[in-house]
Structure 1
């Protein structure tokens, strides 16, 4: 049976199902009930409870809030500079990043749907 590729320090809650062709790590924490789809790539991120990550989504240097959804081929990425104003990407609770949308170095407050790409913005 094929298992996902895990690199470095990774925590995956036992209730979370990870597709066998996903690549997780390093420095990733995935909370409860957060299904990870095929081809997903997660690097240096925190995925909170009840998040859905669809096929081929990429999340790097980010925190994804409870009950959020990252759709097919979406990309959520921070630059990884934790001292910069927008150096880490944060999605609030119940945020949806639609198919193929790219969100870079931004902060998105709760209950938003992003169907366009954004860069270095704070979405209120």
Structure 2
């Protein structure tokens, strides 16, 4: 799960950076406000990459997805990107957990099949 979720979060961090650049030109929101919010969201994306396997991290990721979707109030294009990254986040969590279970089953089977050294 860690690899899939981290990949999604890094992609999202880049999206937020580019959206901040676009929002500076297309909205009346102050530059300082745009970059303060964008920097906080980017930092959260990067920090979540490191703690994604800890309890509550996936829920924080969902809150981040909601915030990206809500940023459509400032930059309407972000509604579409929020839906896309929300779907990617769901896939990353859902299939990442399935992969983790399969890896654990395979490791257990290999450990069971390995000859015992005497």
TM (normalized to structure 2)?
A: 0.22
Q: Rg: which structure is higher? A: 2
Query: Higher helix proportion, which one?
Result: 2
- The higher-RCO structure (CA 8 Å, 6+ apart) is 2
Query: Higher strand proportion, which one?
Result: 1
TM (normalized to structure 1)?
A: 0.21
